[in-house]
Each structure stands twice: as structure tokens, then as C-alpha cells.
Amino acid sequence: MLASNEPSFRQSVDIMFNRAAALLDLPPGLEEKIRVCNSTYVVRFGVRLRGQIHTFTGYRSVHSEHMEPVKGGIRYALSVDQDEVEALAALMTYKCALVEVPFGGSKGGLCIDPRVWNEEELERITRRFAYELIKRDLINPSQNVPAPDMGTSEREMAWIADQYRRMATTDINARACVTGKPLNAGGIAGRVEATGRGIQFALREFFRHPEDVARAHLDGSLAGKRIIIQGLGNVGYHAAKFLSEDDDCRIVGIIERDGAILDPGGLPVERVKAHLNETGGVRGFPGAEYVADGMSVLTEDCDILIPAAMEGVINLANVHRIRAPLIVEAANGPITAGADEVLRGKGTVIIPDLFANAGGVTVSYFEWVKNLSHIRFGRLQRRQEETRHHLLVEELERLSADRGLGWTLSPGFKEKYLRGAGELELVRSGLDDTMRGAYQAMREVWLGRKDVPDLRIAAYIVAIQRVAASYRALGL
Ligand code: GLU
């Protein structure tokens, strides 16, 4: 719960937008046109469950249609209301623009605690919600394409895709009506890990620039950095796993619903996740210090703090005690506008949500393109690529033998080099390229303009300029 002196989530997003827009010279009226949410559809529907009718409230908000389809996840949580969905839809617009994903912004939500219902019940609720949205074209491959968000996963996306297919029997592109589907239902390799992988690529790119690292009062590489992560859901788990396994970071704290665990030597993410799945919490994880007031761990000493659960967790009530010099917003809106201002004053560097967690929608875009092209990425070129690599290696070996040069390829090289890229490698490469490109666009504004105090404002400036350019192209 936010203190009464804090703006709402949607107001927070608007405040951040306004700060950036004030630094731009937009034609009169265009600023407001970009900021406002175009429409929000509210649906109340009943489903007969456990012998009685239960009424659910769902939303689908379309923030901007400067590009179509519009895109954004569907969230199942008790926090879902119009304000939250509109804030999240606005963030989708700016996020897509920043990472050059050709979609407008949208978001949906159902006010429900998904843990209260069993799988069969959730399927009936989801299909009914999807039915309401599909019949109004609020789920449609060319107009509005949902994806997973908090409380939903591949499973719900498969139900939605199937519901759409049943209602649009002649639509050859039916599978493109939703992304984040399981692989066997038209999904793409690497979508589940995508947001966490994007966090890793974002941090790697940040650490490629010593000047930026110094602004966060840090130095050196990612290796050995102490990380506290809040939320070990899909995003937090993958980010923590990749950063500890591939980049030698130390996950010194993990915050979950039932408390937090600490280990200065680094927590084994995979085992913590298994414990969480088994017991429903982190409490009792062997060998780690347990803290019952989990949220207090947000203010513990660390190099990088990664809030990866929900909005508003860093707010006016705790911001003064935050010690991390670098915060990566893996969640959407984890820092309120008020807290953002305090952190700026303290010199904390924030890698903002619209960039940091854009990996999910980026790979959703790849999935949508795959669905429209009806072919797996890499299917045509993989073996051809391998054949050409073989040719080169054989030629090198022949030259070495003929001329008695005695060249030997280093161990593992041949195997790695000869392998043609499959879908997963291509998706990761496209995601890496996207994250690097977006960081550089943001950075150019951050370092290049004296009136831009932080990466968030820089990110908004890049995004707003791009949205404004497409409105101009539309003649507005
Ligand atoms: N829910 C994710 C987000 O907030 C993914 C959205 C998508 O893939 O459309 O970015």
C-alpha cells in the first residue's frame, strides 16, 4: 500500500512522461495526445463454479494505436484495476517505441487471485474472459495481441489462442492472436526466459561503458557484483539464474512473499527455486539467514538491486534507506515518482523498466512474426550455414596439412563454430542486439544532453520522439 501522499501508479507514469515531454519541443496538443490512454474496456462476466455464479471484473486498455497491433500482457492479480491497467498500457507504448518493436501499447488484467482456483476453473474463467475480448477485437492478430504478465503464463496463452481459433475458424493467422504460447502451440524458443535474459543483456551492455558504471559509483565488470533480487517469479528467477551462472554475480539476497533469505557468499538460485516450488516460500532454505520482514531486505547493502515483482515497492516509506547504488527495474513501475526523485538526489543510477524489462515484448514480437510467416526461424538456413562452416574448417585443415604448418584448432572451437544457429540462438541474438541498440539510443541522450538527469528521462525522450514521429507520419 502506498502512502496517501504518493501519486497513483498511472499518475506516476504520467509524471515521468511529463518531465521528459517538458524537455522536448512537441507541437501543441501532441504531448497530450501521446500521454492519454485511448480507451479502456471493462467487462464483468459470470462463470458458474463450485455450484454458484462468480462475477469477475476484467480490463483491456489500449493506450496508443499509432502502430497496430497494440501489444501488452494480461495480468491476473487482486491489485488489478483501471488505474493499474492504464499505467501498464502506457508503459507498453513507450517500451515498444524504445526497443523498436512496431506495436502500440495495451494491457489487460483480471481482478482475481489465481491461487484460489484450480486449473480447470482457471481455464473456464480464462476462456470466458477471452471470449469477451475476442468478440470486440480486443484480441486479434492484426489489432491487439496479449501475452503473459504477473499471474499468467504459457498455459493461459494456449487457452486464449485456442479460444480465438474456435471463434475465428477461417483466420489463417489465428496463432498470432497472442504471444508467449507453449512451443507446441505456436510459441517460440526462448520466450519464457526472455525478460530475465533481457535483464542480463541490459546489465552487460551497461557494464560495457566504464563511464556509466562510474556514475553508479561502481567499477569493474559484472563479475562478483552483489545482487539482491525481489521476486523469484519468471522474470526474477531467470535474471538471477543467468547473472549468477553466466556472469559470476553473487545473489546475496532473495525476497519473496513469505520473507527473504540472505547469504553473503551467494545463493544457489536453482535450488532456492526448487525449494520455493516445493514449500511455497523461501523460509527454511538450508544454510541461509531468514528474515521474516522480507521487504526490509530491499534496504540491505548490495551493488545491484533488482525489483522483479510488482509496482510501487520502492516508495516514500523506504526510499531514504535504500543503499544500492544501481537499481534495475525488472518489474513495471517498481519505483514511485516520489521515490524516483529522492533516488536521483542521492545519485542512484536506475536502469528504467521501459528498457530493462523489454526483453519479453521483444521476443513476443519475434513470436508474432514467426506465427505470421508460418515457419520456424533458422529452418531454411541452418544446414546451409553449417555446410559453409565445414568447408572453411576443412580448407584450413587441408592447408595446414599440405604445407606442414601443424595448425590445430583449439578444443571446442570446431564444435561451436560448425553448429548452425537454431531458433533459440537466433532469438537470443536478436534480443541481445535489441537491448544493446536501445541502451545506446538512451545513453546518447543521457550523456549528450545536459538537461537530462537520468536514464529514465532519456528513455522517455527517445520513446516519445519516436511515437511523435509516427503520429506526424500519420498526418496528425
Ligand atoms: N507482460 C510483458 C511486459 O510487461 C510482456 C508483454 C508482451 O510480450 O506483449 O512487457
Q: Give the Cβ contact number of residue 223 at 10 Å.
A: 10
Please state, in angstroms and rounded to a whole number, the distance separating the CA atoms of residues 278 and 191. 24
Q: How many Å lie between the centroid of ligand 1 and the Cα of residue 61?
A: 14
Considering 20-34, 354-368, 377-391, the range whose residues carry the highest mean pLDDT is: 354-368
Stretch 108-121: mean pLDDT, rounded?
98
Q: Label residue 434 by pLDDT band (50, 70, 90).
A: very high
With H, G, I as helix, E, B as strand and everything else as coil, classify residue 334. coil
Dihedrals φ, ψ of 338, to 5°?
Answer: -65, -45
For the CA of 364, the closest atom of ligand 1 is: 8
For the CA of 149, the closest atom of ligand 1 is: 1
CB 328 within 8 A of CB 203: yes
Ligand 1 pocket test, candidate residues 156, 195, 353, 366, most atoms within 8 A of CB? 195
Stretch 213-237: mean pLDDT, rounded?
98
Stretch 126-135: mean pLDDT, rounded?
98
pLDDT for residue 411 = 80
pLDDT for residue 415 = 86
Please state, in angstroms and rounded to a whole number, the distance separating the CA atoms of residues 220 and 209. 10
Q: How many Å lie between the centroid of ligand 1 and the Cα of residue 288?
A: 33
Cβ within 8 Å of residue 110, ≥6 positions away? 56, 57, 58, 59, 74, 75, 76, 80, 125, 129
What is the average pLDDT score of the chain?
96
Region class of 312: left (phi > 0), else alpha (psi between -120 and 50), else beta:
left
Q: How many Å lie between the centroid of ligand 1 and the Cα of residue 359?
A: 8
**Residues with beta carbon inside 6 Å of ligand 1?**
71-73, 147, 149, 179, 332, 357, 360-361, 364
- Report whether pLDDT(5) > 90: no
Any idea which of 125-129, 185-189, 414-418, 453-457 has the lowest mean pLDDT?
414-418
For the CA of 146, the closest atom of ligand 1 is: 9
| pLDDT-above-90 percentage for the chain | 94
Stretch 319-329: mean pLDDT, rounded?
98
Please state, in angstroms and rounded to a whole number, the distance separating the CA atoms of residues 190 and 428. 7
Strand ranges inside 68-142, DSSP E:
70-71, 74-77, 104-111
pLDDT for residue 76 = 98
Please state, in angstroms and rounded to a whole number, the distance separating the CA atoms of residues 192 and 241. 13
With H, G, I as helix, E, B as strand and everything else as coil, classify residue 31. helix
Q: How many Å lie between the centroid of ligand 1 and the Cα of residue 139?
A: 15
Ligand 1 pocket test, candidate residues 362, 364, 365, most atoms within 8 A of CB? 364
- Report whether pLDDT(47) > 90: yes
* Residues 136-161 as b or e (16 or more Cβ within 10 Å = b): eebbbbebbbbbbbbbbbbbbbbbbb
CB 454 within 8 A of CB 442: no
pLDDT for residue 1 = 54
The per-residue pLDDT for range 236-286, each reduced to its tens digit, is 999 999 999 999 999 999 999 999 999 999 999 999 999 999 999 999 999
Q: How many Å lie between the centroid of ligand 1 and the Cα of residue 78?
A: 19
Residue of the nearest CA to atom 9 in ligand 1?
A: 72
Q: Which residues are catalytic?
A: 107
Cell of 435: 537491448
Ligand 1 pocket test, candidate residues 9, 92, 329, most atoms within 8 A of CB? 92
Cβ within 8 Å of residue 475, ≥6 positions away? none
Give the amino acid at 274: A
Please state, in angstroms and rounded to a whole number, the distance separating the CA atoms of residues 95 and 101. 8
- Report whether pLDDT(108) > 80: yes
CB 449 within 8 A of CB 22: no
Stretch 289-315: mean pLDDT, rounded?
97
Please state, in angstroms and rounded to a whole number, the distance separating the CA atoms of residues 360 and 196. 8
- Report whether pLDDT(29) > 60: yes
- Report whether pLDDT(190) > 90: yes
Q: What is the DSSP string of 124-159?
A: HHHHHHHHHHHTTTSSBTTTEE--B-TT--HHHHHH
For the CA of 71, the closest atom of ligand 1 is: 9
Is CATH 3.40.50.720 correct for 217-347? yes
Residue of the nearest CA to atom 7 in ligand 1?
A: 361
Cβ within 8 Å of residue 390, ≥6 positions away? 418
Q: How many Å lie between the centroid of ligand 1 and the Cα of residue 75?
A: 10
Cβ within 8 Å of residue 468, ≥6 positions away? 24, 26, 30, 34
Tell me the angle at which helices 119-134 and 154-167 cross, rounded to the nearest 10 degrees.
50
pLDDT for residue 235 = 98
pLDDT for residue 3 = 65
pLDDT for residue 173 = 98
Strand ranges inside 380-471, DSSP E:
none
Q: Label residue 448 by pLDDT band (50, 70, 90).
A: very high
Cell of 146: 496479449
Cell of 207: 557494464
pLDDT for residue 4 = 66
Q: What is the value of pTM for the model shown?
A: 0.96
